[in-house]
């Protein structure tokens, strides 16, 4: 487990091994959410980063909800 210190300005540093493994770049936007007393941090991907994102996900099943379909 890696730890980080919260500064007096409420800033944290993401440890190097996490930045490298997630390919985070300076200035990249991150989404923070609170869930069950935990903070989740997720990178916000640019359109360029989304190209090919689902390339090998063709096996995913998708079923529309009946409420999404227009009424006849």
HSE of 67, CA atoms in CB hemisphere, 13 A: 0
Residue 55: pLDDT over 80: no
pLDDT at residue 69 in the model:
64
Residue 63: pLDDT over 80: no
How many Å apart are CA 53 and CA 17, to the nearest integer?
23
In the chain, the domains with their CATH numbers are 14-53 (2.10.260)
Run of H or E residues at 21: helix 16-21
Please name every residue paired with 19 in a beta bridge, in sequence order, or none if there are none.
Answer: none
* Ramachandran bin of 21, using left for φ above 0, alpha for ψ from -120 to 50, beta for the remaining angles: alpha
Averaged pLDDT of the chain: 83
Q: Global pTM?
A: 0.57
For the stretch 37-48, pLDDT in tens is 999 999 987 777
């Amino acid at each position: 487990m890696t730890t980080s210190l919260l500064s007096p300005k409420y800033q944290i540093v993401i440890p190097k091994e996490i930045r490298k493994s997630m390919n985070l770049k300076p200035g990249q936007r991150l989404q923070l959410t609170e869930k069950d007393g935990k903070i989740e941090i997720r990178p916000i991907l640019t359109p360029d980063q989304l190209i090919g994102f689902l390339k090998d996900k063709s096996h995913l099943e998708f079923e529309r909800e009946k409420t999404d379909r227009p009424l006849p």
